[in-house]
Amino acid sequence: GAARSGVFLGWLDAGPAPEMLAAEVARAFDVFESVGGNDGRMLVTGYFEPIVDGSSTPSPVYRTPLYRPPGGAIKVDLGRFGERFAGEKLVGRLEDDQLVPFPTRGEIRQGGVYRGREIAWLRDPIDAFFLEIQGSGTVRLPGGGELRLGYAAANGRPYRSIGKLLVDEGKIPREKVSMQSIRAWLEANPGELERVFDYNESTVFFRRLDGPAQGSLGVPVTAGRSIATDRNLFPPGALGFLISEVPKHGADGATAVERPLVRFVLNQDTGGAIRGAGRVDFFWGRGAEAGEKAGLMKQPGRLFFLVPRG
């Protein structure tokens, strides 16, 4: 695999004509296309590394905590207990010799169960929620420094989309739902934050990073090249080829297409919302501009994987 990767990078460095590169790929790799979801389609969304205001200590300004992992997690592959459970996994903790679930988001918020495990405190609870969704980010500290955080673990509870909740409740029209429209609704309805956030029982725990954002493989993710997929279905670290679209703001708050998105990608990450053969998450990079693209992206696509021959 490493040798083939080196050969592939050598081809790219040589700047071959597209038809020559296509011929080399066909010679050296077997190419497989994802079958997509149950409807045969693939949905391509985007993610990014946000930059948010926060502190390493709480204050009246910085009141929303992010947590380190609680420890004691037990991961269970239910497939080992019978074929009917194949692909099913549980995360829990031991309590009186019983495996029990970790607390939900609402239970964590209300009960203070992880007091003392805070890794940072944010100014804006909406920033905190979206930082969990993205899985990594940079906390801008009051003194001018910064703290980079990466995904460490999750509480094992089901991920539920608050965007879908707001659409189902008629708060946001389906054709206009995006990270931007969700955020605007939350900012306009601060009294609803806890109810809406608690709908998503899944909570992410963080660790400090010494460098750039890392994917689930523990290597830095690259803007415009890294993707996240379902780790149970697609080979981690594999070379892929993605065909999709770059979004932009359209008329009346809907999303339009700016240009095609066609490129080689690396399968370096996963995420709580990325489940099944019909989902891929495209990494846009760091900061507000990347967030703008990531927040709009809900595009159709096709994903191919290149498997070295021999």
- Angle among Cα 267, 272, 169 to the nearest 5 degrees reads 130
For domain 34-308, give the fold.
Answer: Ribosomal Protein L25; Chain P (2.40.240)
pLDDT at site 140: 95
* The pLDDT value given to residue 235: 83
How many residues would you count in the chain? 310
pLDDT of residue 18: 75
Over the stretch 213-254, which tens digit does the pLDDT of each residue have? 777 778 888 999 999 998 888 888 889 999 999 988 877 767
pLDDT at 193: 97
Q: What is the DSSP letter of 52?
A: E
Residues of the chain with pLDDT under 70: 1-8, 11, 253, 272, 310
DSSP 220: B
Q: Report how far residue 132's alpha carbon sits from residue 85's, in angstroms, rounded to the nearest whole number.
A: 28
Q: CA-based Rg of the chain, rounded to a whole angstrom?
A: 21
What pLDDT, on the 0 to 100 scale, is given for residue 214? Answer: 78
What's phi and psi for 244, nearest 5 deg? -155, -150
Half-sphere exposure of 99 (CA within 13 A, CB side): 8
In 155-238, the DSSP E strands lie at 204-209, 226-228
Q: What are phi and psi of 232, to 5 degrees?
A: -80, -15
Only one residue has tokens 């080992």, namely 80
108/113 Cα distance (integer angstroms): 6
pTM (predicted TM-score): 0.80
| pLDDT at 7 (0 to 100) | 65
Neighbours of 173 (CB within 10 A): 13
| Count of CA atoms in the C-beta half-sphere (13 A) of 182 | 24
Domain boundaries, the chain: 34-308
Residue with tokens 């910085």, as numbered in its chain: 62
Identity of residue 232: N
